[in-house]
Amino acid sequence: MRVGILRAPSPLPGFGLSFGITMTVLSIVVLLPIGALLGRGLMIGPGELWDMVNSRRIWAALSLSFRVALAASLFNLVFGLALAWVLVRYRFWGRRFIDAAVDLPFALPTAVAGISLTALYAPNGAFGQALAPLGIQVAYSELGIWMALVFIGLPFVVRTVQPVIEELDRELEEASATLGAQRLATLRRVILPTLTPALLTGFALALARSVGEYGSVIFIAGNLPFKTEIAPLLIVIRLEEYNYDAATAIGIAMLVISFAMLFAINAIQIWSRRRIGLV
């Protein structure tokens, strides 16, 4: 099929049909709704938007969402690296089972994760009871939100780093050892730089997911304004009040901050790839 926008002719047919389906579905499901959100924001006007976002309650919610998501993703960055390393490099009983179980947070619906974490960590739950004498309260506090986001973001770093560790050339490690490097130095100066781009990709995916997470968090958070109220919940509250403009303002604020963060991570990633000579 001859379509004007092709750069090079292809003997294969079906460009018009497949490109048409792609653009139609993409537009209806993703582009038009996001466009409607941004369009509504334009209609309200930047000044008004800023006035609506600029309230103590919204800043508290936005800062909570991004702060806890960052903390949970940092934990998952370190734990995910350790888990991926153990799964690829070490042989132990039950390794394949653990490998399969890592994807549990992808498969388990978030609402299910939310209520079961709450049941565990509530003051009368199995873990909650054990932690109470130590003065640690997980459910209905920031720690509970962190716990839920750690659960949600767990597979991302493991699944992005694992294939890279599998591909690692052992000869590099041997070379480093023959040149007199201690194991720790090899890990830090030979292996870690090679894994950095994949680590950052996983971190970015986990962060994006946890910032917007709603289902698993609202049950365990307690949802106290100024304390444990996350930004997505505030959008839902505004929608339930039919205050569409305020919901739009918070939604756009979340989009802008998420994209700025992803852009920054992307820039670091390109920089670290160049540094180790990939691409």
Partner 1 sequence: MSELALASGGAGVPRPTRPSRRHKEITTEPRGVRIALIGTVLALISVLLFAPLLAVFGEALRQGWAASVEALASPDACSAIRLTLIVAAIAVPLNAVFGIAAAWSITKFDFPGKTFLVTLIDLPFSVSPVVAGLALVLLFGANSTFGAWLVAHDMKIVFAFPGIVLASMFVTFPFVARELIPVMIEQGSSEEEAALSLGASGWRSFLTVTLPNIRWALLYGVLLSTARAMGEFGAVAVVSGKIRGVTTTMPIMIEILYNEYLSVAAFSLAGVLALLALVTLALKSLLEWRHADLLAATRRH
Cβ-Cβ contacts under 8 Å for 54 (sequence gap 6 or more) = none
59 close to 136: Cβ distance less than 8 angstroms: no
C-alpha distances (whole Å) from 231 to each of 30, 213, 234 are 21, 10, 5
Query: Which of 212, 222, 227, 268 lies at the binding interface for partner 1 (CB under 8 A)?
Result: 212
Cβ-Cβ contacts under 8 Å for 119 (sequence gap 6 or more) = 125
**Residue 34 binds partner 1 (CB under 8 A):** yes
Map the footprint of partner 1 across residues 226-245, applying CB under 8 A: 232-233, 235-236, 239, 244
**Residue 59 binds partner 1 (CB under 8 A):** no
Greatest C-alpha distance within the chain: 73
Which residue's CB is nearer to partner 1, number 60 or number 190?
190
Q: Which stretch binds partner 1 (CB under 8 A): 45-53, 54-62, 156-164, 221-229?
A: 156-164
The two three-digit tokens of residue 113, written as one number? 């994760």
Query: Which of 141, 194, 228, 248 lies at the binding interface for partner 1 (CB under 8 A)?
Result: 248
Residue 84 to residue 125: CA distance in whole angstroms: 31
**Residue 144 binds partner 1 (CB under 8 A):** no
Residue 168 to residue 60: CA distance in whole angstroms: 43
Query: Which of 73, 141, 160, 228 lies at the binding interface for partner 1 (CB under 8 A)?
Result: 160
Q: Provide the mask over 85-114, with x wherever binding to partner 1 is found by CB under 8 A and - wherever it is not.
A: xx--xx-x-x-x-xxxxxxxxxxxxxxxx-
Residue in this structure with the two tokens 């089972």, named with its chain if needed: 97
Map the footprint of partner 1 across residues 179-208, applying CB under 8 A: 183, 201, 205, 208
**Residue 33 binds partner 1 (CB under 8 A):** yes
Shortest Å distance, C-beta 76 to partner 1: 10
